[in-house]
Amino acid sequence: MLRDADGTPLPQRFGPYVLFDLIGRGGMAEIFLGRTFTRLGAPRLVAVKRMLARLSADEQFGKMLIAEAKLCAPLRHANIVQVHDLGRIDGRLHIDMEYVEGLDLHRLLRLCTRRQLPFPPEYAFFILEEACRGLAHAHRAAADDGRPLHIVHRDLSPTNVLVSFEGEVKLCDFGIARAAAETLAPDEAAAETETLRGKFAYMSPEQARGDAVDQRADIFGFGILVWELLAGRRLYKGGNDIETLRLAREAAVPPLPRRGRPWEDAAQDLLDRALARHPADRFPDADALHDAIRDIILGFDIRCSQLGFAEFLRQHFAEQIVPLRRDRERALDLIAPPRHAAGQGGDGPPHGVERRSPRPNSTML
C-alpha cells in the first residue's frame, strides 16, 4: 500500500484533490498524482507538490515559496510545466501543477543504464533544444508593464527536466530552488532535509560559492546538462557532497569524451562557452545558447523529432509506468467514483457542476 511521508495511506483526500499515486519524494516535498474537477465539473488529473510538514511550518520558507511561485506561475510555454494553483491546506503548502505522463530525465537515463540501452544522441539534442527553448522563454518573461522579471531557475538538474510519452520536454520547479537556498542553511539543507543532495553537481561556480547569481548561472547549469547528455556520464564525480561542492566551485570541466562523432568539435565549442568559469564569458542569454544547439542540429543534419522520441520512450519505458498508474486510477473509481450530483458519495463537486469550495481549514493563497 502506498503511503505518504506521514504514513497516511493513499488514496487520500487533500482539500479539493484526491491523491491516489506517489510520483516522487524528495527532501523538500512529495509529488502526488491526484484528481480534482474543473469549474464545469469535468475530472482533471493534476500533479500536486506538497511540501513536507517541517518546511510548511517555516514561515520564512513559506513566504519565499509563495512569492517565487506567484512570480513564475504566469509562465505559459509548451516547454514549461504549467502551475495552476498554490496554497495551504491543513497547514501544508502545496502547488497544483500540470501532470506530465512520463518520467524525468534522471530516471530516464538511469533506466537506460540499467537496461544497457544506449541513449541515442539525436534524442539528446532534441531534449536539449526543447528544454533550452523553455528556459529562454522564462528568462525573457516580463511583467504587465514590460519590466523584466529576471527569473532564474537555479536548479537545472535532470530531475527538473520532464519528458512525456508524447515526446514533450518540459522544465519544472521554477522558483522553488531559490526559496530553499534563501531560507535554509546549506548544511541544514544537505545534512537534514537532503534538499541540496544531488544539486551541487549542477551549480555554477558562483552559486556553489554562495555568491549572488543571475541568469548566466542557468547558462552554466544547462551546460552541465549538455555535457552529461552527450558524454553519457556525470560531469562531477565527487565521492561525497563536500567533494562535489568543491568541484562545482572550481568549475574544472574536462573536455567532452571523443568517440568519433562528427559534431564533437562544434559541441566542444558550445561547452567551452556555456561552462566558462566567469559569467561574462558565457553565452549572453538562453536564446543564444538555444541558437548554438540548433546550429549543431542543422549543420550536422541530426534527425530528431517529437514523434520519433515519443516512439522511443513508449517502446522502452511506457509499459513499466502507464499500466500501473491506470490500475490505480481505476481503483480510485471504485473507492471514490467521480459522480457529480450532490449526495452520491463520489469525489466530484457536491452541487452539480460547481467546483467544491475549499474546506474551512483550506486556505488558497
> Which sequence spans correspond to the domains of the chain?
12-100+318-354, 102-312
User: Is a pLDDT exceeding 60 seen at residue 183?
Assistant: no
pLDDT at position 187: 44
pLDDT at position 339: 53
User: Is a pLDDT exceeding 70 seen at residue 145?
Assistant: yes
What's the mean pLDDT in 144-151? 90
Whether 97 and 46 have beta carbons less than 8 Å apart is answered as: yes
Measure the CA–CA gap between 128 and 156, rounded to whole angstroms.
Answer: 12
pLDDT at position 62: 85
Q: Tell me whether residue 90 is one of the annotated catalytic residues.
A: no
Range of weakest confidence among 38-47, 166-175, 260-269, 321-330? 321-330
DSSP string for residues in 170-237:
EE--TTHHHHHHHHS-HHHIIIII-SSTTTGGG--HHHHTT----HHHHHHHHHHHHHHHHHTS-S--
- Cα dihedral 151/98/189/155 (nearest 10): -40
Range of weakest confidence among 176-185, 199-208, 282-291? 176-185
Residues present in the chain in total: 365
CATH topology of domain 102-312: Transferase(Phosphotransferase); domain 1 (1.10.510)
pTM above 0.95, yes or no: no
Sorting pLDDT into bands at 50, 70 and 90, what band is 198?
low
What's the mean pLDDT in 173-184? 63
CATH of 12-100+318-354, one of 3.30.470.20, 1.10.10.10, 3.30.200.20, 3.40.50.970: 3.30.200.20
The 10s digit of each residue's pLDDT in 341-356 is 333 444 544 443 333 3
The 10s digit of each residue's pLDDT in 80-89 is 999 998 889 9
pLDDT at position 329: 80
Per the residue annotation, which of 21, 104, 155, 173 is the catalytic one?
155
The 10s digit of each residue's pLDDT in 155-169 is 999 999 999 999 999
pLDDT at position 347: 54
And the C-alpha cell for 263? 559534431
